């Protein structure tokens, strides 16, 4: 992990506290309880700052003609396509030390996380409850955790680099190289595009949603 100085830790805590205060004020102003108690089934609401990992620009949009689960299935299908597309790009990266490489690494992690989070929320509503689906979802959730662990090491490396800690930079570079090679080997063996394809085919039938 990263060892911050007291001043750095206090500054980061202050920024988090300020952000949390704004979030609470915004939630109170929007009165989400009243909003969800008066749902209009004939109207869809869009988010003007939607993440590209959720309903990306130019993609198929949610439909008021479908159930909530069916719409989330459409979203999951898009995300699985993105995971499969990014998989080849990240596996081609020989190293992970540059900002550009880390950005692509982080994009793959977020693409996997978006799907894993939806499965956690909607449980068995998205995919048929088969052993094959369960195993494939376990593969993706395992990769998400592994990417998160390596991301923590990369952040510690970036911090050491900013603070000219040459010994720590050298040690973390070696750790990142070794971990990235092992993670790529694991990811290749998992055949992620095949996993994504099977999961897209393994959605629950619409009639059961």
pLDDT band at residue 124 using 50, 70 and 90 as cut-offs: confident
What pLDDT does residue 48 have? 60
What pLDDT does residue 67 have? 79
Higher pLDDT, 132 or 33: 132
Sequence length of the chain is 209
For residues 144 and 83, is the Cβ–Cβ distance under 8 A? no
Of the candidates 189, 202, 86, 69, the residue with the CA atom closest to the CA atom of residue 134: 202
25 to 28, 30, 47, 186: CA distances (angstroms):
5, 9, 19, 44
pLDDT band at residue 64 using 50, 70 and 90 as cut-offs: confident
Q: Mean pLDDT throughout 144-156?
A: 95
Instruction: Report the distance separating Cα 110 and Cα 116, nearest Å.
Output: 10
Helix/strand/coil (H, E, C) string of 182-200? HHHHHHHHHCHHHHHHHHH
Enumerate helices (H) and strands (E) in the chain, giving the number of each: 7, 0
Name which of 64-78, 106-120, 172-186 the model is least confident about.
64-78
Q: Mean pLDDT throughout 176-189?
A: 97
For residues 74 and 85, is the Cβ–Cβ distance under 8 A? no
Residue 148 has pLDDT above 90, yes or no: yes
What pLDDT does residue 53 have? 60
Question: What are the pLDDT digits (tens) for 27-53?
Answer: 666 666 666 666 666 666 665 656 656
What pLDDT does residue 36 have? 62
Residue 57 has pLDDT above 60, yes or no: no
Residue 55 has pLDDT above 70, yes or no: no
Neighbours of 144 (CB within 10 A): 20
Instruction: Report the distance separating Cα 198 and Cα 178, nearest Å.
Output: 30
185 to 135, 144, 191: CA distances (angstroms):
19, 15, 10
State the average pLDDT for the chain: 85
pLDDT band at residue 22 using 50, 70 and 90 as cut-offs: confident
Residue 121 has pLDDT above 80, yes or no: yes
What pLDDT does residue 184 have? 97
What pLDDT does residue 93 have? 94
């Amino acid at each position: 992990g990263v060892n911050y100085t007291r001043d750095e830790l206090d500054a980061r805590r202050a920024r988090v506290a300020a952000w949390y205060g704004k979030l609470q004020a915004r939630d109170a102003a929007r009165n989400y309880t009243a909003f969800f108690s008066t749902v209009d089934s004939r109207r869809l609401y869009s988010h003007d700052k939607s993440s590209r990992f959720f309903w990306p620009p130019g993609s198929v949009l949610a439909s008021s003609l479908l159930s909530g689960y069916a719409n989330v299935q459409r979203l999951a299908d898009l995300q699985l396509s993105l995971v499969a597309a990014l998989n080849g790009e990240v596996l081609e990266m020989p190293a992970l030390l540059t900002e550009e490489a880390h950005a692509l690494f982080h994009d793959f992690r977020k693409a996997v996380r978006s799907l894993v989070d939806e499965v956690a929320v909607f449980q068995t509503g998205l995919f048929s409850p088969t052993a094959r689906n369960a195993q494939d979802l376990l593969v993706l959730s395992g990769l998400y955790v592994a990417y998160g662990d390596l991301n923590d090491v990369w952040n510690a490396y970036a911090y050491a680099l900013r603070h000219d800690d040459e010994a720590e930079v050298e040690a973390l570079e070696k750790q990142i190289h070794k971990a990235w090679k092992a993670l790529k080997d694991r990811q290749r063996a998992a055949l992620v595009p095949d996993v994504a394809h099977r999961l897209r085919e393994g959605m629950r039938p619409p009639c059961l949603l």
